[in-house]
Structure 1
Amino acid sequence: MNQSEPAATRRLRPPGLILLLAEARSILEFNASLLLSPLLMRAPKGDGHPVLALPGFLASDLSMAPMRRYLKQLGYDAYAWNMGRNFGDITSRRNALKKLLTDIHEATGRKVSIVGWSLGGVYARDLALQLPDMVRSVITLGSPFAGDVRATNATRLYEALSGETVEDNSELTKAIGGDLPVPTTSIYSRTDGIVNWQTSLLRPSDTAENIEVRLASHIGLGVNAAALWAVADRLAQAEGEFKQFDRSGPFAIAYGPPENAQSDRGPEQARV
């Protein structure tokens, strides 16, 4: 696959049965993050800006509680979405999510970073397109937004529960899969058992990057220690600045190699 494109336009397959069954290892990822909590607290401290955490399909705020707690400990003002369980339907959620983001922005007087897990990341990218002046950065975790977004093991269930097909609103889907006007990071795993990892690839640029977390599961990605470190590191960047992720930290062995960003700036920091 050409890494200059988010994902190939050809049909992709959902992850196979072995990877799907291996999602059970997510409990091990959660336990490992608890054991590694002293190391995780060595991540760069936050500047107090608001961070909105959006859960994945069929998940609730409970799934994002460990991440919100971690971010609060680092000094961020972490917010839940408070909309119950996420049963999908992007179009029906748009107004409520826009109001939520607007309320947080007005209450804090600061731009909001958005961290979205799986489907929550699709919502996050849509919010950044609609209200870019209120969004500081977007970080997605195993989110299927690029190329053949049907290539997941949750597509049929999503369509049954949400009442919409993945092909609905093709223009919106195409926009969400394109470049965003804010700094963007996609964290993914090639061993994701729910989402084909190629649908999580964005086009690298001065202000956009992909971070592979090796051997992570989809269900465990939001509590995976290496993923949590990467989220904290990305959020710690100064507003209006972006630098590619440094993989030399304490979880270096857990990250895949960086891709070649489409930039002529070299290693210097980009201003946005």
Structure 2
Amino acid sequence: MHITNIQPSSPMLFAFEPVRSMMDFFAGQALPLERLPKGDGHSVIVFPGLGASGGATAMLRTRLQQLDYEVHDWEQGINQLPSGDLDAWITRLAKQLRSLAARDGRTVTLVGWSLGGLYARALLERYPACVRQIITLGTPYAELHHIGAAPVNLSDIDADAVAAVPAFSIYSKSDGVVAWQGCVPTALPNHHAIALDGVSHMGLVHHPEVLSIIAELLASSTKGQLASRPQDVHRDRGPKV
């Protein structure tokens, strides 16, 4: 498997990433949930980033559960990159997605943090009928081409079905791990970029502004409002480091 180098926005941002992520964590804990829209109980799967496990996304999952969604960890432990055949790896991840969709008779939202967002994209390309929307957080689309290789033969992809599923890339221009420019997909159908300032890479799964955006996207998907969202949104969080 070939992985290209992921470059941070700047050495200074990288150096301050631990401190900023801690601040984002505590800020997220203080977010009043009554301000956020409630959901319809549909299933959501959350994929962690490289080197992280479900523990790193536990707060995000708890918040979404409190908003009345059925939220699931990806159930694969620490994300250490797929070993062996990539196609078999994506098929393995798809078991959970297909099982939830079949059980509920409803599509599933996929939330992927960093590398986990590429898994979400790969699952969308293979199983669009099971996916309601994907939401990625600091996912380096330009640096990693679908985790090193196409997960499925391009001739097997139903381009129209994939394009019908909204995908949202939430990224921070103050990301200290992944350069934000790589998080802006330029050639993916129905893909919407949402830019923030002042959020760390680790903080993308904790920051109150990110949690608010995710809650809004999840709630909007139950009302058929996703198509009306602007293609590119920028939310200024104040001065950058």
TM-score range, shorter chain: 0.7 to 0.9
Instruction: Classify the secondary structure of the residue corresponding to 1:19.
Output: helix
CA distance in 1, matches of 2:100, 2:6: 38
Indicate yes or no: 2:1 matched with 1:16.
no
TM-score, normalising length: structure 1: 0.72
Alpha-carbon shift at residue 149 of structure 1 (Å)? 3.5
Number of equivalent positions: 224
Distance 1:18 1:41, change over 3 A: same
Amino acid at match of 2:229: Q
- Any idea what SS the aligned residue of 1:220 has? helix
Correspondence for 1:127 among 112, 123, 128: 123
Using the alignment, how far apart are the partners of 2:191 and 2:135 within structure 1? 10
Work out whether 1:72 is the aligned partner of 2:65: yes
Equivalents in 1 of 2:43, 2:238: separation in Å?
27
Kept after mapping to 2: 8 A contact 1:142/1:186: yes
Ranges in structure 1 where 5+ consecutive residues have no aligned partner: 1-10, 151-165, 257-272
**Cα deviation code 1:154-195 (max 9, x no counterpart):** xxxxxxxxxxxx6x42686x999x985411110001111111
Q: CA deviation at 1:64?
A: 1.1
Pairwise CA distance, 1:104? 1.2
Q: Which amino acid aligns with 2:12?
A: I
Distance in 2 between the 1:189 and 1:230 partners? 13
C-alpha separation in 1, matches of 2:195 and 2:34: 21
Structure 1 position 202, deviation (Å):
2.3
Q: 1:99 aligns with which of 95, 99, 102?
A: 95
- Supply the AA of the counterpart residue of 1:87: Q
Structure 2 unmatched runs, 5+: none
Shift in Å, 1:241: 3.9
Distance 1:59 1:138 in 2: 19
The equivalences for 1:149-168 within 5 A come to 149=144, 168=148
Deviates more, 1:41-50 or 1:202-211: 202-211
**Which of 52, 55, 64 matches 1:59?**
52
User: In 2 relative to 1, CA 170–114 (structure 1 residues): closer, same or farther, beyond 3 Å?
Assistant: closer
Indicate conservation of the 8 Å contact 1:211/1:255, yes or no: no
State the partner residue of 2:134. 138
CA contact (8 A) 1:201 1:210 kept: yes
Q: Greater helix percent: which structure?
A: 2
The answer to whether residue 33 in structure 2 is matched with residue 48 in structure 1 is no
Structure 1 residues 42 and 198: CA distance shift in structure 2, 3 A: same
Cross-structure match for 1:114: 110
Task: Give the aligned CA root-mean-square deviation in angstroms.
Answer: 3.3
Runs of 4+ with >6 A deviation: none
Candidates 182, 185, 204, aligned match of 1:202? 185
Contact conserved, 2:171 with 2:195, CA < 8 A, in 1?
yes
User: Which one-letter code corresponds to 1:29 in the other structure?
Assistant: D
- 1:227-242 paired onto structure 2 within 5 Å: 227-239=210-222, 240-242=224-226
Counterparts of 1:204 and 1:95, CA distance in 2:
24
Residues 126, 204 of structure 1: alpha-carbon distance in 2 compared, 3 angstrom cutoff: closer
Whether the 8 Å CA contact 1:129–1:180 is kept in 2: the answer is: no
1:27 partnered with 2:27:
no
